[in-house]
Amino acid sequence: MDLVAWARRHRSREDSGNVLSELRERPAESVARRTGFPLPFVEGVQSFYDDLHSDPRKPHLCTGTACTFAPAHILPAGTSEVHCMGQCYAPPAGRHRTPPPIPWRTIVTPPIVLRGLLAVGGPSARAEYDLPSGEEILDAVIASGLCGRGGAAYPTGAKWKAARDTPAPERYVVANGDEGDPGTYVDRLLLEECPHLVLAGMLACARAIGAGRGIIFIRGEYPDAPGKVRAAIAEARAAGLLGGFDITVLTGAGSYVAGEETALLAAIEGRRAEPRPKPPYPAERGLEGLPTVVQNVETLAVVPWVVRHRRRAGTKVVCLSGAVAHPGAVEIALGTPLGEVVERGGGGAAPGRRIKMALVGGPMGRVLPLSAFDTPLAYETLPGLGHGGVVLLDESVSARRLFEHLASFARSESCGSCTPCRAGTWQLDRMRDEASLLRLLRTIETGSLCGFGQGVPRPIRDLLTHYRREMFAC
């Protein structure tokens, strides 16, 4: 049977309808029997996703950057590692506890992304769905110059126009809630606390491109988000706010690379989340071969504001964690220097700790030493800003330890499809001199298919630039 046709037929059931979600409920043999797919295919899907072959009864502890370098972090023997649970503001995190609420604040007035969290003065959820015609929405999004907040900063309007202009019987909108960068949790905040902004953003996109169906893909490490989003969908449906637009929620199963847009679509279709070459881009040929707009959750939350105000949304949420006095999600004006964000948004260094450097934009982001904290946080001035995670590291963390942490993340999350990334990430921390490491970085960067392999060298190059001696000191 055709995988796409099968997944499509079953997708109307919430969080079911693909081999991936079936595997959560029953063993591979049973899934193969039920679906008619060959057992090796089903086992191939199972072996790809950490959550489908790890023991759920084992204690899980987070080994994301903020948790790894938190003073109290110890990884007991027999503990399963999770690369980030979106609780970087209160480390060390584990599946054994209920996460504390995400602290948030704003150093711009009024906030745009976090407007839904304002107790007084924020627009009501219902007003977010008050959208004009598809043509007007597309014009407003293009005119605003809105760029994606998920990392690549691609112009949102251009993507929507490409999807709308591609002849097709049907189109899809996909909200990317896979937020895997250790150090980020704004998508979790939005999905759990103001899902209507995301739904209204999806509705705007659907209207602009002519899509009838939407899917929200939420990472498995965010167990509370799917229920809250489903409740919001039910509310919006009951109030007649979605019209004929149908939205389904699917959840991930423990793969970082699944956040890459083509891999995400493979996961939604119930396959191994392996990125494919582009072009064709998903906007032309995405889910089930149909034009599909994949948009980050934060980007979608901004869209209704942009449509209402018809102007540039020059803000972004950065997530502070690590050696900072007040970790949390902070909305800033894009272009605010990192040092000012840490001082005004995070209250400076945590008591008794001296900040040495920041990892900005996750494990494929940038390392900025304290001397470079005057760098403005914007996509133009800091390529690698990514989704905006800022993990502050204190003087107890050597450049070598951070390098080894990044190398370990890279080798465990590489999907393994291309050799430079698969084999190269295993070699990273075995390089004993700078010249060999630089050669390897160049091979990984130029020989890798997707943004993962292409981005792995980025923070390591920064470490070499700023902390050359620490990198190879034994």
- 3-state DSSP call for residue 407? helix
Q: Measured at the alpha carbon of residue 293, what is the angle toward residues 287 and 296, in degrees to the nearest 5?
A: 115
The pair of structure tokens assigned to 273 is 């989340």
By CB under 6 A, residue 445 contacts ligand FMN: no
157 binds ligand FMN (CB under 6 A): no
Q: How far is the CB of 108 from ligand SF4 (least distance, A)?
A: 35
Give me the least distance between CB of 179 and ligand FMN, in Å please. Answer: 5
Member of 21, 255, 414, 443 binding ligand SF4 (CB under 6 A): 414
Nearest to 472 by CA among 423, 422, 448, 438: 438
Identify which of residues 125 and 450 has a Cβ nearer to ligand FMN in the complex.
450
| 409 alpha-carbon distance from chain centroid | 15
Q: What is the DSSP letter of 357?
A: E
Sequence-distant (≥ 6) Cβ neighbours of residue 294 within 8 angstroms:
174, 176, 261, 264, 265, 282, 286
Q: What residue 176 binds from ligand FMN, ligand SF4, none (CB within 5 to 8 A, per partner kind)?
A: ligand FMN
- When CB distances are held under 5 to 8 angstroms depending on the partner's kind, the choice from ligand SF4, ligand FMN, none that residue 331 binds is none
Among 152, 234, 239, 473, binds ligand FMN (CB under 6 A): 152
Torsions phi, psi of 2, nearest 5? -75, 125
Beta strands in 361-397, from DSSP E residues, in sequence order: 366-369, 389-394
Interface with ligand FMN, residue 448, by CB under 6 A: no
Could you say which of 214, 452, 463, 471 contacts ligand FMN (CB under 6 A)? 452
- Percentages helix, strand, coil for the chain, rounded to the nearest 5? 45, 15, 40
The residue within the footprint of ligand FMN, chosen from 128, 260, 269, 445 (CB under 6 A), is: 260
Pick the piece of the chain touching ligand SF4 (CB under 6 A) from 169-177, 320-328, 397-405, 416-424: 416-424
Binding mask 424-463 for ligand SF4 (x = CB under 6 A): ------------------------xxx-xx----------
Rounded to the nearest whole angstrom, what is the least distance from the CB of residue 124 to ligand FMN in the complex? 25
With b for 16 or more beta-carbon neighbours within 10 A and e for fewer, the 161-194 pattern comes to bbbbebebeebbbbbbbbbbbbbbbbbbbbbbbb
**236 to 265: interface string for ligand SF4, x by CB under 6 A:** ---------------------x--------
Site string for ligand SF4, 266-295 (x = CB under 6 A): ---------x--------------------
- Say which amino acid occupies 394: D
Residue 414 interacts, among ligand SF4, ligand FMN, none and using kind-specific CB cut-offs from 5 to 8 Å, with ligand SF4
CB of 86 to ligand FMN, least distance (A): 11
Among 153, 77, 101, 94, CA closest to 361: 153
Find the DSSP H helices in 181-246: 186-193, 195-209, 225-238
Q: Minimum CB separation from ligand SF4 for residue 408, in Å?
A: 15
Q: What is the C-alpha to C-alpha distance for residues 350 and 186, in angstroms, rounded to an integer? A: 21
User: If binding is defined by CB under 6 A, does position 362 make contact with ligand SF4?
Assistant: no
How far is 457 from 462, CA to CA, in rounded Å?
9
Question: Tokens 């023997």, residue?
Answer: 77
* Residue recorded with tokens 């891999």: 263
Which of 315, 289, 261 has the alpha carbon at shortest distance from 110? 315
421 contacts ligand SF4 (rule: CB under 6 A): yes
Minimal distance, residue 281 CB to ligand SF4, in Å: 16
Q: Are 391 and 369 in contact (CB under 8 A)?
A: no
In the structure encoding, which two tokens stand for residue 208, read together? 């602009």
**Minimum CB distance to ligand SF4, residue 352 (Å):** 39
Which does residue 179 touch among ligand SF4, ligand FMN, none (CB within 5 to 8 A, set by kind)? ligand FMN
Give the binding site for ligand FMN (CB under 6 A).
148-152, 154, 176, 178-180, 257, 259-261, 294-296, 299, 450-452
Give the binding site for ligand SF4 (CB under 6 A).
257, 275, 414-418, 421-422, 448-450, 452-453
